[in-house]
């Protein structure tokens, strides 16, 4: 069906009897099922009944960008638009196309011509000399490689990509290949020396299959030792963001010992199994940081490595091709395969976008919000389909069996002392930072890192603050069943049931609805590596409230340990809108820094000084069980390493 712009506008959600349409690149999609986003009051209501191509490409909600014109968009923005189109194709049906009126088309063409930034460059004298000597034959041979797009941009056609092979043995190698800087020769490590010896003056360079990183070997080796060391240190410092822990330099050259020494000086040759970098796919450090923590949560890891989530069965059970749980299992298989090259979780990112459409963008997201969303995505497939009649508190999906605990909330009437109790399941605990040890200046600035003299905020103080009785304000009076009217009351939180993996979220981002401002809290937080949660359990809190009198508690979960060991810390550095997430992992009592694709060992003092945002603890028994040496060999696919623990199996 063909629509004019005026006809398309009639399907903007204003008439409840009509569907809601949104056009992308001239194709009209029926987005009625996404009414919460595109309908009245939705986040993207401004797109309804219009062609939102330019706005989606620029990730903009401005009215002037809601148009079909693609003129002036960068290649990156065109790529963003293509991704949006794929998402719409996967989720919404196509019902027609938009037909532009001739006057509209001429207007767009006129504006594009008037505002065109594509001007002819000044003539080049070198090209003019070439044409005089050789004619136009060279130019004509280039024409077949040029491609012009409708928006006026010209680019070079990409030739068919082939796997690089050694010119001598024609073999495809998984390791590094070597390029000649003079001729197009490519050689493997067995034949690199042969080429450099047979062709006088041909320099050899290392070809990294992943990053196209080229280092001229001979020129560096011929430098004086002092100059060479300074140049190498400078190169390594500038390329530290691209260094990977497994980049073993396996050169069959006479001087290769220098490169091996240079690499061994900065990293160990063998890290624990499962320690693998994750490539940043465009502001996805928030995702990589949480995935690293999930990949090393012992009971969560054991579940997926033992293939408890059967991907084939899952696909047969549901028509939805994207599954967060399935793609989580794929990441586990890849990370624990023994391959050390950084992994790109692109399919997982797409599945998460499908599950959380409101967060699907190339912008930085909150790591804590992503953590909750991922567990919800796993629960949606594992819990709701397998155990449809159970709520989150009793759900047996792996997300809740590992991370779910139970909070207890006691409301006590200050007049008669009557207490009402409610229980709420949770997968994490959000803690406010305790400021009792800070001066008024520190609290006002919120950017001062305290020292030993001024005191510092501690995790234990935050937990004390979380379980401390809080007097509700006069505007929060609650109905007392005993007094039969609204009364002032005290609220106190405690932990009824501990999870196997305890995730603590430190509230570092403040949002003021009155001032309409947001800011980050940069206070330093001291946290222990071993944590005893006994003082924060409901029995301890209630006994302290009544003077340590002995009470009988049903289901005290005596078989669940209250002693935890830290295994992951997610940190946030930078400002609110331009920060970066990094994860520190504790494996076999050694700390490792996971910064997207780059992993290296760090001292525990670095971890203690970091600006923690989420802290992950696991029950002490599971921590020491997980620290048993897994060796540096891949884990068999069918091995069942899931440890039977009360409340988990």
Write phi, then psi, for 565 (nearest 5 degrees): -120, 140
Confidence grade of residue 153 (pLDDT, cut at 50, 70, 90): low
Residue-wise pLDDT for 427-438, tens only, equals 999 998 876 655
Coil, strand or helix: which one is 210?
coil
Q: Which of 282-286, 447-451, 586-590 has the lowest mean pLDDT?
A: 447-451
The burial class, CB within 10 Å (0-12 / 13-18 / 19+), for 326 is buried
Residue-wise pLDDT for 371-396, tens only, equals 999 999 988 877 666 666 566 557 88
Is 580 a catalytic site residue? yes
According to DSSP, residue 450 is labeled: P
What's the rounded Cα separation, in Å, for the pair 515 and 462? 26
CA 482, 488, 494: angle at the middle one, nearest 5? Answer: 85
pLDDT for the residue 640 = 37
Residue-wise pLDDT for 284-325, tens only, equals 899 999 999 999 999 999 898 887 887 777 776 766 667 888
Q: Report in angstroms the alpha-carbon separations of 71 from 67, 118, 316, 408.
A: 11, 11, 44, 57
- Over range 218-225, report the average pLDDT: 45
List all residues 6 or more positions away from 577 whose beta carbon is below 8 Å from its beta carbon.
364
Contact of 47 with 12, CB cutoff 8 Å: no
- Per-residue b/e over 139-177, b at no fewer than 16 CB within 10 Å? eeeeeeeeeeeeeeeeeeeeeeeeeeebbeeeeebeebb
The DSSP string of 140-165 is HHHHTTEEE-TTS-EEEPPPPP----
pLDDT at 260 over 60: no
pLDDT for the residue 634 = 47
From the list 173, 202, 524, 580, the catalytic residue is 580
Confidence grade of residue 222 (pLDDT, cut at 50, 70, 90): very low
pLDDT for the residue 529 = 94
pLDDT for the residue 340 = 85
Strand residue runs (E) in 143-237: 146-148, 154-156, 177-180, 186-187, 204-207
pLDDT for the residue 217 = 40
Confidence grade of residue 69 (pLDDT, cut at 50, 70, 90): confident
- 266: how many CB neighbours lie within 10 A of its CB? 12
List all residues 6 or more positions away from 638 whose beta carbon is below 8 Å from its beta carbon.
307
pLDDT at 476 over 80: no
From the list 188, 285, 594, 612, the catalytic residue is 285
Range with top average pLDDT, 153-162, 279-288, 622-631: 279-288
- 358: how many CB neighbours lie within 10 A of its CB? 13
Question: What radius of gyration do the chain's Cα atoms show?
Answer: 30
Measured in whole angstroms, the distance separating CA 11 from the mean position of its chain's CA atoms is 36
Residue-wise pLDDT for 178-194, tens only, equals 777 777 788 777 777 77
CA 68, 73, 76: angle at the middle one, nearest 5? Answer: 120
Residue 363 parent element (H or E): none
Confidence grade of residue 409 (pLDDT, cut at 50, 70, 90): very high
Write phi, then psi, for 358 (nearest 5 degrees): -70, -15
pLDDT for the residue 419 = 87
Is 285 a catalytic site residue? yes
CA 584, 589, 592: angle at the middle one, nearest 5? Answer: 25
Measured in whole angstroms, the distance separating CA 190 from the mean position of its chain's CA atoms is 39
pLDDT for the residue 116 = 45
Residue 586 parent element (H or E): strand 580-587
Measure the CA dihedral 356/362/366/369, to 10°: 10
pLDDT for the residue 256 = 39
The beta-carbon contacts of 388-394 under 8 Å, at least 24 apart in sequence, are 391/425, 392/425, 393/423, 393/425
Give the residue among 536, 571, 576 at the shortest CA–CA distance from 405: 536
**What's the chain's average pLDDT?**
75
Residue-wise pLDDT for 114-137, tens only, equals 444 445 567 778 877 877 877 776
150 torsion bin: left (phi>0), alpha (psi -120 to 50), beta (else): alpha
What's the rounded Cα separation, in Å, for the pair 282 and 243? 18
Q: Report in angstroms the alpha-carbon separations of 603 from 82, 439, 457, 598, 608.
A: 44, 31, 22, 16, 9
For each of the domains in the chain, give its residue range(s) and CATH number, in order of start: 2-98 (3.10.120.10), 127-219 (no CATH), 284-386+394-398 (no CATH)
pLDDT for the residue 541 = 87
pLDDT at 451 over 70: no
Coil, strand or helix: which one is 577?
coil
List all residues 6 or more positions away from 369 whose beta carbon is below 8 Å from its beta carbon.
359
pLDDT for the residue 559 = 55
Q: Which of 193-207, 259-273, 301-315 has the lowest mean pLDDT?
A: 259-273
What's the rounded Cα separation, in Å, for the pair 112 and 152? 9
The model's pTM is 0.56
What's the rounded Cα separation, in Å, for the pair 628 and 620? 13
Contact of 355 with 324, CB cutoff 8 Å: yes
pLDDT for the residue 606 = 94
Percent of the chain surpassing pLDDT 90: 24
pLDDT for the residue 80 = 87
pLDDT for the residue 444 = 45
What's the rounded Cα separation, in Å, for the pair 197 and 55? 57
Q: What number of residues does the chain have?
A: 649
What's the rounded Cα separation, in Å, for the pair 278 and 344? 6
pLDDT at 149 over 70: no
Please tell me which residue, 416 or 114, carries the higher pLDDT value: 416
Please tell me which residue, 520 or 367, carries the higher pLDDT value: 367
β partners of residue 371: none
Contact of 300 with 501, CB cutoff 8 Å: yes
Range with top average pLDDT, 8-12, 165-169, 264-268: 8-12
What's the rounded Cα separation, in Å, for the pair 620 and 627? 11
pLDDT at 408 over 90: yes
């Amino acid at each position: 069906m063909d629509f004019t712009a005026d006809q398309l506008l009639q399907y903007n959600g204003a008439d409840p009897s009509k569907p809601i349409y949104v056009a992308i690149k001239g194709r009209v999609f029926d987005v009625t099922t996404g009414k919460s986003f595109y309908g009245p009051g939705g986040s993207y209501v401004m797109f309804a009944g219009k062609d939102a191509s330019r706005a989606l490409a620029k990730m903009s909600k401005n009215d002037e960008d809601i148009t079909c014109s693609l003129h002036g968009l960068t290649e990156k923005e065109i790529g963003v638009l293509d991704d949006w189109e794929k998402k719409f194709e996967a989720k919404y049906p196509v019902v027609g196309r938009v037909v532009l009126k001739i006057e509209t088309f001429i207007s767009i063409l006129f504006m594009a011509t008037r505002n065109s930034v594509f001007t002819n460059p000044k003539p080049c004298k070198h090209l003019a000399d070439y044409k005089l000597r050789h004619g136009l034959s060279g130019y004509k041979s280039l024409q077949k490689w040029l491609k012009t797009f409708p928006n006026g941009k010209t680019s070079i056609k990409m030739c068919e990509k082939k796997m690089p092979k050694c010119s001598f043995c024609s073999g495809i190698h998984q390791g590094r290949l070597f390029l000649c800087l003079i001729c197009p020769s490519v050689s493997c490590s067995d034949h690199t020396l042969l080429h450099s010896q047979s062709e006088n003056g041909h320099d050899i360079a290392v070809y990294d299959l992943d990053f196209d990183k080229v280092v001229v070997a001979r020129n560096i080796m011929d430098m004086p030792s002092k100059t060479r060391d300074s140049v190498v240190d400078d190169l390594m410092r500038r390329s530290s963001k691209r260094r990977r822990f497994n980049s073993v330099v396996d050169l069959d050259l006479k001087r290769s010992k220098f490169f091996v020494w240079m690499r061994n000086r900065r990293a160990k040759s063998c890290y624990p199994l499962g320690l693998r970098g994750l490539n940043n796919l465009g502001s996805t450090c928030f995702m990589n940081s949480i995935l690293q923590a999930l990949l090393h949560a012992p009971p969560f890891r054991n579940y997926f490595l033992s293939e408890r989530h059967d991907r084939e069965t899952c696909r047969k059970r549901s028509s939805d091709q994207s599954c967060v749980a399935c793609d989580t299992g794929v990441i586990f298989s890849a990370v624990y395969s023994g391959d050390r090259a950084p992994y790109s979780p692109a399919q997982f990112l797409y599945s998460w976008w499908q599950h959380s459409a409101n967060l699907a963008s190339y912008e930085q997201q909150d790591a804590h919000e992503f953590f909750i969303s991922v567990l919800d995505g796993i629960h949606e497939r594992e819990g709701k389909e397998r155990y449809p009649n159970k709520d989150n508190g009793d759900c047996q999906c792996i997300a809740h069996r590992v991370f779910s605990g139970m909070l207890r909330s006691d409301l006590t009437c200050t007049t008669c002392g009557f207490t009402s109790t409610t229980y709420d399941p949770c997968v994490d605990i959000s803690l406010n930072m305790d400021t009792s040890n800070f001066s008024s200046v520190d609290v006002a600035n919120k950017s001062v890192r305290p020292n030993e003299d001024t005191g510092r905020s501690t995790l234990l103080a935050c937990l004390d603050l979380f379980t401390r009785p809080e007097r509700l304000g006069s505007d929060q009076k609650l109905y007392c069943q005993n007094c039969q009217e609204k009364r002032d009351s005290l609220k106190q939180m405690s932990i009824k049931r501990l999870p196997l993996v305890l995730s603590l979220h430190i509230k570092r981002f403040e949002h003021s609805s009155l001032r309409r401002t947001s800011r980050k809290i940069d206070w330093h937080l001291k946290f222990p590596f071993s944590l005893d949660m006994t003082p924060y359990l409901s029995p301890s809190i209630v006994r302290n409230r009544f003077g340590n009198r002995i009470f009988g508690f049903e289901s005290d979960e005596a078989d669940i340990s209250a002693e935890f060991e830290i295994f992951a810390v997610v940190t946030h550095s930078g400002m609110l809108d331009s920060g970066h997430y990094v994860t520190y992992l504790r494996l076999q009592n050694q700390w490792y820094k996971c910064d997207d694709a780059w992993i290296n060992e760090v001292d525990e003092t670095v971890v203690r000084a970091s600006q923690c945002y989420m802290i992950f603890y696991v029950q002490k028994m599971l921590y020491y069980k997980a620290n048993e040496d897994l060796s540096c060999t891949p884990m068999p696919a069918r091995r069942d390493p899931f440890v039977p623990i009360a409340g988990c199996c």
